[in-house]
Amino acid sequence: MTEAKLVRDRIPEIIRATGAEPEVYVADPAEYRRRLRAKLAEEVAEYMEADDTDAPEELADVLEVAFALAADLGIDADGLERLRAAKAEQRGGFAQRIVWTGNR
């Protein structure tokens, strides 16, 4: 038996299409948030191991989990983007590739 993990909403349907019957349940809110956090770590790890060909797809998975975490906190994708943009306006982004080595 495999360890229980959070999966995308259509996975049970996809499994059924193969003729198998998945064993699933719906997590309560506390378990859902805990499993989303674990899923984020899993997806980030997959991104970190991906080559340049697979990295965009893995990054999309990270973003999907980030959107789900935001929704769980009551923030929609537009609200999350507004927060990101405000932070970028205040502190900048990462486009200039600046690396801090300390203060003098």
- In this structure, is residue 67 part of a structural domain? yes
Q: pLDDT digit string (tens) for 56-95?
A: 999 999 999 999 999 999 999 999 999 999 999 999 999 9
**Domain that includes residue 53, residue range:** 29-91
**How big, in percent rounded to 5, are the helix, strand and coil portions of the chain?**
60, 0, 40
| Number of domains observed in the structure of the chain | 1
Is residue 7 situated within a structural domain? no
Domain membership of residue 66 (yes or no) is yes
pLDDT per residue as tens digits for the range 19-33: 999 999 999 999 999
SS3 (DSSP) at 34: helix
Alpha-carbon gap, residue 53 to 63, rounded angstroms: 17
Global pTM?
A: 0.89
Domain assignment present for 79: yes
